[in-house]
C-alpha cells in the first residue's frame, strides 16, 4: 500500500484517479482548494456525474482509504506520491493556461516534508514537466529531494472508471528511472502495457492521441457532408471502412461534432504550440473548423425545411457533450441553441442528467421533464446527445404531439425509412436522404457465409 496525495482531487480527473487508487488498496488524500466541494465530498456528495463513481467514493470513504481536505500540509504529510490533476483551461489564443499548475507546484514545494515523486496527471504543454521541476526547485526547503514524472490520463467521460482500471496502456515519462519504476508499481495490478519514456515525449503522446481521435471524427463528418450531396449513407460507409484492419470502427460516428473538456482545448493547444514554434498546423486548424461547421449544418437544415426559424419552437434532446456525463464544457448543444435563439427561435430541452449544469449557462431555455414534453408543440426536434433512452422513445407519440413533424437526428440513432414511414420529415447527418435509393441496412455476413442469389432472367456474360 502506498500513500498518495491527489492535488485537484475534487475535479473530474483528480477524483476518478483518487477513488480508483484507493479502490486498489492505497491510502489516498484528495486536496482541493474549493471548500464547498470538499465539504460535499466528505459527506459523499460528488460534484460530477460519472457512472459507478459515487459507489466507489462511498465505499472507500467508509474504509478510510479515501479522504478529502483543503490543506496541502495535511494532504502531503507522509505522502510518497503527489499527483497533480488540476485544470488547464484554454487561454485567449488557444494556449493552455497553467496558472493552477504553477499554484500546485508552489504549494507542493512549500508543504512537502519528505522526499516526493511529483506526477503530472493533467494534460500540459510539452516542456511543462521541466517547468514544474524548476518551480519546485526554486521554492523547496534545503535537504528535500523530489522527481517529476509525467503520467498523462486517458479517461473518457462516461466510462472513466473502466478506462482507469482497464487501460490500453500506461504512459510514464521521467529522466529518473527509479522514480518511473515506482510510479509503474502503482499500476502493476492492472496488467496493462507500460510505456516508459522521457518527460516531453510522454506529454506529446497525450496531445497527439487526442488530436488524432478528433481528426478521425472531423474526417468522418467531412465525408458525411459529401455523402449527403451524393446520395450515399455515411453509416454504411463507416461500417465498410471500419472492417479494414488498418482503420477500425472506433471514432467513425458522424454527428454534430466533438466537445467536452479534452478534444477542444487539446487540439487548440497543440495547434498553438506548433504555430509559435514555427510549424504550420493546417490539418489541426481544419479539424477545428470542420467540427465547428457541424453545429451550423443543423441550423441550416432547419432553415431549409422550415423556411425561417423566427417565431418557431425547437425541441433539443440532449445537452451534455456525450452520454453518461453531465459535462457541458464545449457541448455542441450550447452552440446549436445559441444559433437557434439568434435566429429568433424558442428552445425547449431535456437531458437526463445535465440540466442543472445547463441552467447555469443557459437560463433562458425552457427545461422539460422528459423528451415528450420537449417535443410537445415544437416545430422541430433536434437530437444532440445520443443518450440510450432516446433510442427507445415512442416515436409515434412524439410526432403526434409536435406542431410540425421535423426531426433532425444529429447522432444518426434512427433509421431514416422508419422515421419517414412514421411521417417525420427526417434529416440525419450524411444519410443521403434525398438522392439515395431506398434505404437498405448493410448486411454483415459471418466469415465464409455465402449469399444465395436469385436466378437472373437473362444469362450474364
Q: Kindly list the domain boundaries of the chain, sorted by start residue.
A: 3-197, 231-427
Cβ pair 388, 320 in contact under 8 A: no
Rounded to two decimals, the pTM is 0.90
Structural fold of domain 3-197:
Rossmann fold (3.40.50)
Cβ pair 88, 265 in contact under 8 A: yes
In whole angstroms, what is the distance from residue 385 CA to residue 316 CA?
A: 9
With vertex at residue 114, the alpha carbon angle to CA 79 and CA 100, rounded to the nearest 5 degrees, is 65
Annotated catalytic residue: which of 30, 262, 279, 368? Answer: 262
* Buried b / exposed e along 319-328 (16+ C-beta atoms within 10 A): bbbbbbbbbb
**Torsions phi, psi for 159 (to 5 deg):** -145, 30
pLDDT at 447: 52
In whole angstroms, what is the distance from residue 106 CA to residue 99 CA?
A: 11
pLDDT at 432: 79
Where does the pLDDT of residue 438 fall: very low under 50, low under 70, confident under 90, or very high at 90 and above? Answer: very low
CA 346 from chain centre, in angstroms, equals 28
Cβ pair 46, 66 in contact under 8 A: no
Helix pair angle (53-62, 12-23), 10° resolution: 50
* Buried b / exposed e along 299-314 (16+ C-beta atoms within 10 A): bebbeeebeebeebbb
The contacts found for 92-96 with CB under 8 angstroms, 24 or more apart, are 93/272, 94/265, 94/268, 94/269, 94/271, 94/272, 95/125, 95/269, 95/272, 95/273, 96/123, 96/124, 96/125, 96/265, 96/269
Q: Where does 309-429 show beta strands of DSSP type E? A: 313-317, 346-350, 366-367, 380-383, 406-409, 425-427
Where does the pLDDT of residue 436 fall: very low under 50, low under 70, confident under 90, or very high at 90 and above? Answer: very low
30 part of the active site: no
As a whole number, mean pLDDT of residues 232-257 equals: 97
Where does the pLDDT of residue 92 fall: very low under 50, low under 70, confident under 90, or very high at 90 and above? Answer: confident
State the chain's mean pLDDT as an integer: 93
Does the pLDDT at position 449 exceed 60? no
As a whole number, mean pLDDT of residues 296-324 equals: 96
In whole angstroms, what is the distance from residue 403 CA to residue 390 CA?
A: 20
Structural fold of domain 231-427:
Rossmann fold (3.40.50)
CA 351 from chain centre, in angstroms, equals 17
Q: What is the pLDDT of residues 320-377, one digit of tens each?
A: 999 999 999 999 999 999 999 999 999 999 999 999 999 999 999 999 999 999 999 9
SS3 31: strand
As a whole number, mean pLDDT of residues 97-109 equals: 96
Of 10-19, 116-125, 306-315, 431-440, the range with the lowest mean pLDDT is 431-440
Task: Look at the alpha carbons of 410, 413, 418, 422 in this order and tell me if their dihedral is positive or negative.
Answer: negative
Looking at the DSSP assignment, which residues form a beta bridge with residue 27?
3
Task: Look at the alpha carbons of 209, 210, 214, 215 in this order and tell me if their dihedral is positive or negative.
Answer: negative
Cβ pair 46, 15 in contact under 8 A: yes
Cβ pair 6, 31 in contact under 8 A: yes
Q: What's 369's DSSP letter? A: S
* Buried b / exposed e along 377-391 (16+ C-beta atoms within 10 A): ebbbbbbbbbbeebe
Cβ pair 29, 4 in contact under 8 A: yes
Amino acid at each position: 500500500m502506498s500513500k498518495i496525495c491527489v492535488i485537484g482531487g475534487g475535479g473530474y480527473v483528480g477524483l476518478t484517479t483518487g477513488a480508483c487508487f484507493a479502490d486498489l488498496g492505497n491510502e489516498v488524500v484528495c486536496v482541493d482548494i474549493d471548500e464547498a466541494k470538499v465539504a460535499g465530498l466528505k459527506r459523499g456528495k460528488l460534484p460530477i456525474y460519472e457512472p459507478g463513481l459515487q459507489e466507489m467514493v462511498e465505499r472507500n470513504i467508509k474504509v478510510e482509504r479515501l479522504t478529502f481536505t483543503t490543506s496541502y500540509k495535511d494532504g502531503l504529510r507522509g505522502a510518497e506520491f503527489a499527483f497533480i490533476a488540476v485544470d488547464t483551461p484554454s487561454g485567449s489564443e488557444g494556449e493552455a493556461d497553467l496558472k493552477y499548475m504553477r499554484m500546485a507546484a508552489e504549494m507542493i514545494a512549500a508543504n512537502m516534508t519528505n522526499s516526493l515523486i511529483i506526477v503530472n496527471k493533467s494534460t500540459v504543454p510539452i516542456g511543462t514537466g521541466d517547468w514544474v521541476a524548476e518551480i519546485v526547485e526554486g521554492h523547496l526547503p534545503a535537504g528535500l529531494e523530489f522527481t517529476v514524472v509525467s503520467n498523462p490520463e486517458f479517461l473518457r467521460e462516461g466510462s472513466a472508471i473502466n478506462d482507469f482500471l482497464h487501460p490500453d496502456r500506461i504512459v510514464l515519462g521521467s529522466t529518473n528511472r527509479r522514480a518511473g519504476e515506482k510510479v509503474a508499481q502503482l499500476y502493476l495490478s492492472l496488467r496493462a502495457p507500460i510505456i516508459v519514456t522521457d518527460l516531453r515525449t510522454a506529454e506529446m503522446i497525450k496531445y497527439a492521441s487526442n488530436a488524432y481521435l478528433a481528426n478521425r471524427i472531423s474526417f468522418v463528418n467531412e465525408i458525411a457532408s459529401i455523402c449527403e450531396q451524393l446520395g450515399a449513407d455515411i453509416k454504411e460507409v463507416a461500417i465498410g471502412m471500419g472492417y479494414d484492419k488498418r482503420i477500425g470502427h472506433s471514432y467513425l460516428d458522424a454527428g454534430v461534432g466533438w466537445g467536452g473538456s479534452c478534444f477542444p482545448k487539446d487540439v487548440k493547444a497543440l495547434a498553438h504550440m506548433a504555430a509559435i514554434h514555427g510549424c504550420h498546423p493546417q490539418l489541426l486548424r481544419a479539424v477545428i473548423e470542420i467540427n465547428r461547421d457541424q453545429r451550423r449544418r443543423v441550423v441550416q437544415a432547419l432553415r431549409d425545411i422550415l423556411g425561417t426559424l423566427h417565431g418557431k419552437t425547437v425541441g433539443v434532446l440532449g445537452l451534455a457533450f456525450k452520454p453518461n456525463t453531465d459535462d457541458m464544457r464545449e457541448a455542441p448543444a450550447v452552440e446549436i441553441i445559441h444559433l437557434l435563439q439568434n435566429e429568433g427561435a424558442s428552445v425547449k430541452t431535456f437531458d437526463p442528467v445535465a440540466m442543472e449544469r445547463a441552467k447555469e449557462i443557459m437560463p433562458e431555455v425552457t427545461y422539460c421533464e422528459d423528451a415528450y414534453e420537449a417535443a410537445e408543440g415544437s416545430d422541430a426536434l433536434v437530437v444532440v446527445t445520443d443518450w440510450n433512452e432516446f433510442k427507445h422513445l415512442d416515436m409515434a407519440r412524439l410526432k403526434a404531439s409536435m406542431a410540425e413533424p421535423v426531426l433532425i437526428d444529429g447522432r444518426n440513432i434512427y433509421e431514416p425509412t422508419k422515421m419517414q414511414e412514421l411521417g417525420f420529415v427526417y434529416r440525419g447527418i450524411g444519410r443521403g436522404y434525398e438522392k439515395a435509393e431506398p434505404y437498405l441496412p448493410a448486411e454483415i455476413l459471418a466469415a465464409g457465409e455465402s449469399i444465395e442469389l436469385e436466378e437472373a432472367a437473362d444469362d450474364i456474360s
